[in-house]
Structure 1
């Protein structure tokens, strides 16, 4: 930190520092513009959904009553495909299609099974998520992989090639009263900080025009600034959802939010109807509004006042003054119409998001395995699309892992490697085993069958070692099994049909 004026501090900066400062400020401004959209989407995923589309009268009388209630369908919409997206490794060698064991080890060490699962949910909901790869000072062989929130990270790209040129992580420490920013470039890392609003108010006001934005260098324990980036790549990776050939990834719940608001409003109307109209209502006409006596301190009647009409409304009583008193009853309101509209709205959400209806409606039907598979075709196709969108980012994470280990050749191979994903289609165990058994009989190797079954790379290696031990213990049985699979009986030739008129 320094006590110099911002103009003097800017004058002491060289051209590279000025360029880094302005790049950081530009990215911070762009990130600020994203905050509202990100916050709105994440609030809907968490179930923090305000009542919308209500009339002014309903909002005035009943709006506060239903605050905090939400029939949240946004969360399952993003959870359903995300739970099928499971990264199992990456294949680096074209001649050896087994997932790389070292990459898988680093992935598991960083608990990326859970981290990536959470990032996929956030990426589908907020349209993007981020991952940061950096070396570990305590273990040179195991880089650190962290998963970052979209409201705290941003990556800029070259407009001509689409390659990343810089990444920014921006966050606030309320306790310390500081904002922190770290700008990641391919060759250097710039760390900045500035006083937060509350802390700045306790000091002398800053100049009206501050070219530095209040940012100053944030030095580490070794007082080295900026820090060199030994990886030669921007270590911040953006996991982007679907785009339309532009720089605006879409959220899977953008089309759901409006219907979600409608469902919540219908529920509010239903609750209100349950409270006011579910029982028969009575009306008295031709009678005077009852009056309440006013008593003195010693209990004597000194006057009277009419009953509060608002209290009568709350007590479900309607008085119509006049002659010829009569009593009338209204029948209870029908409430099934509300539930029918809600079910129809949920069906629309299922169709729009390609989510199987039985995932949302909750009705269990006696369907065959083939019928359930057909019902999930749209979800499987959608999940495969999302896998395509996120695969380049997963490749880059593995490439940064190799670069952080000081192995540029493996990093280059990872950029063109094949990411191994678990099967996105859920099948019954009988269906899966039957299909894999038939493919094994056709000649597919056991290792491939184990991978298709869904085993992780280290489990496949363990199974193959166990199989080798079994074959060594029973070579005759292993040979017979191999002959049975490779030598299939030829189909019998059909006898020619006899000429017409002969039997």
Structure 2
């Protein structure tokens, strides 16, 4: 067990690591939301047009991030040695609303490189542990030296009004701290900054009747990290970080295109050999008392102006060709598609008479990208389900779940007719009905309900059910034309 000073020291160290990560996390989240500064522009262009395009972004980052997430759906987990998916684990998953919140977690991992899942007991319902996905800007995990999976400690930090909170998770106990939230110290004297530092020291948080620290009944750190594109000796890689540079270039090209469209998209006519026309200025009696230049903007709207003189002549500058910008923009978007394995039709929206096979081929890169994420996220989710079993007090199940497999919805996008045809062919070579129902996309709970419906059908109509079974089940061969003599024979 750690002392209070040791726990506070560990919180400070983990918070420093979290502070190191936050700039990249905040930047990637901003780019996903479309908050993107105008970069690569010259100082002169930024000076005259920076404010005009401050809030503009042609946001491709969001498309790149959303493309795999929309195909990441967890349908359950099958423990090692089990013939079917675990219904109880699926119930806990649904009870915690993770059919929706898991999408937030996956999106967070794709955007920032990692996301976290926290498992803890539920005092109001011990059979349903609490499982939540946590933001990568608030959580960090420390691993055993030389290991990428064995967790030594985890920290969650967040702000709530005028207080900052920290919860430190250790294998045997959980510490809770808080401190006052202090504003910026840039304009403070050294003495006041020293006071702020003293006030900002973590202190044990008041938890009422709950002990602090409290024992950790799970015996392991209850937080799990879901890594996106992990590395052997570096931080995991975000899908967004590689797109930001090209996104900046696209935004600049659009800004330059809009500027060119404003100033040079129409032929520009010029007049030479003439003075700027002037309009006489009259007094109240109608006498000419001076003159002033004509309002050129008014004549530009009226599209007419008169010039007099012997050497007056007009000329014209050709309009700018804006196609040069759009061609470069298409190349830039194509680079994003190739680098991120996002299908071209997701980005440029051009689909002309594509066959089903051509569409599947176009999405092969995205499908492989999703399957890679299923592998890495699945490894972490097995640990989440193991923690759920530990929180329920089922150690045997926790071991089986750790060696099981996560059941994902199909990463490929197919029409209903294609899927039905594929399942029919699998059935014809002997695949069991339950397996096909899972491949169809049903959750384990829905499959269990479906099997109960089939059993009720057989109880209500044994003759019809047996006939259908003999007709469709390859294990029974082809159906005869003869009808069974009795319901008892049919049921047999």
- TM interval, shorter chain, is 0.7 to 0.9
- In the alignment, does 2:467 pair up with 1:477? yes
Q: Evaluate the alpha carbon distance shift between residue 280 and residue 227 of structure 1 in structure 2; reply closer, same or farther with a 3 A threshold.
A: same
How far apart, in 2, do the equivalents of 1:428 and 1:343 lie? 29
What's the counterpart of residue 166 of structure 1? 153
Equivalents in 2 of 1:307, 1:222: separation in Å?
Answer: 83
CA distance in 2, matches of 1:226, 1:301: 93
Is 1:367 paired with 2:357?
no
> Which residue in the other structure is 2:89 paired with?
103
Flag the 1:289–1:369 CA change in 2: closer, same or farther, 3 A: same
Contact 1:471 1:477 in 2 (8 A): no
Q: Is the 8 A contact 2:180 2:199 kept in 1?
A: no
- TM value normalised by structure 1: 0.85
**1:150 maps to which residue?**
136
State the SS of the aligned residue for 1:197: coil
CA 1:410/1:63 → structure 2, altered by over 3 Å: closer, same or farther?
same
Structure 1 counterpart of 2:181, from 196, 212, 223:
196
1: distance between equivalents of 2:342 and 2:140?
A: 30
Cα shift readout 1:290-321 (whole Å, capped 9, x = no counterpart): 5687899999977667789999999999xxxx
Moved more, 27-36 or 471-480: 471-480
Question: 1:406, CA displacement in angstroms?
Answer: 2.4
1:24-423 maps to which residues of 2 (within 5 A)? 24-94=11-81, 96-162=82-148, 163-173=150-160, 175=161, 177-198=162-183, 205=192, 207=194, 214-222=201-209, 224-289=211-276, 324-423=311-410
8 Å contact from structure 1 (residues 276, 316) kept in 2? no
What displacement does 1:421 show? 0.8
- Comparing 474-483 with 417-426, which one deviates more in the overlay? 474-483
RMSD of aligned residue pairs (Cα, Å): 3.1
For each residue in 1:8-44, what CA deviation from the matched residue of structure 2 results, as whole angstroms up to 9, or x when unmatched? xxxxxx9622221111000101101111100111111
1:465 paired with 2:455, answer no
Q: Is the 8 A contact 2:472 2:478 kept in 1?
A: no
Conserved in 1, the CA contact under 8 Å of 2:119 and 2:223? Answer: yes
- 3-state secondary structure, aligned to 1:131: strand
- Contact 1:53/1:265 (CA < 8 Å) preserved in 2? yes
Supply the distance in 2 between the matched residues of 1:315 and 1:234 (Cα, whole angstroms). 75
- Where structure 2 has 5 or more consecutive residues not aligned to the other structure, the ranges are 480-492
The answer to whether the 8 Å contact 1:54/1:265 transfers is yes
CA positional deviation for 1:229: 1.1
Per-residue deviation, 1:249: 0.4
Q: Distance in 2 between matches of 1:447 and 1:159?
A: 43
Alpha-carbon spacing, 1:19–1:291, altered in 2? closer, same or farther (3 Å)? farther
User: Structure 1 residues 446 and 370, CA, compared in 2 at 3 Å: closer, same or farther?
Assistant: same
The Cα offsets for residues 330-356 of structure 1, whole Å up to 9 and x where unpaired, read as: 222222222221112111111111111
Is the 2:268–2:317 contact (alpha carbons within 8 Å) kept by the matching residues of 1?
yes
Q: Call closer, same or farther: CA 1:249–1:143 in 2, change over 3 Å.
A: same
Residues 1:266 and 1:300: Cα distance change in structure 2 (over 3 Å): farther
| Equivalent position of 2:486 in the other structure | none
| Local SS of the residue matching 1:167 | strand
Q: Which residue of 2 aligns with 1:8?
A: none
Length, aligned pairs only: 467
Residue aligning to 1:447:
434
Structure 1 residues 199 and 266, CA gap change in structure 2 (3 angstroms) = closer
